Amino acid sequence: MKTKDNLLEKYYKGETSEKEEKLLKSEILSFDSDSAEKDIFLYFSNEAAIPDGLEESVFEKIRGKEGKSRTRRMWIYSLTSAAASVLIVLSIFLGIQSERNQKMENEFFVLEEALFRVSVSIQPEEENEMLVLWVDENVEIIVN
Report the distance separating Cα 44 and Cα 48, nearest Å: 6
Which amino acid is it at 53?
A: G
Condensed to tens digits (0 to 9), the pLDDT of residues 126-142 reads 655 666 677 777 777 77
Q: Within 10 A of 7 (CB to CB), how many other CB atoms are there?
A: 19
Task: Give pLDDT, residue 144.
Answer: 62
If DSSP codes are grouped into helix, strand and coil, which group holds residue 137?
A: coil
If DSSP codes are grouped into helix, strand and coil, which group holds residue 134?
A: strand
Condensed to tens digits (0 to 9), the pLDDT of residues 7-19 reads 778 888 888 888 8
- In this model, does residue 64 exceed pLDDT 80? no
pTM above 0.75, yes or no: no
Instruction: Kindly indicate the confidence band of residue 95, based on its pLDDT and cuts at 50, 70 and 90.
Output: very high
Q: How many residues does the chain have?
A: 144
- In this model, does residue 80 exceed pLDDT 90? yes
Report the distance separating Cα 24 and Cα 47, nearest Å: 18
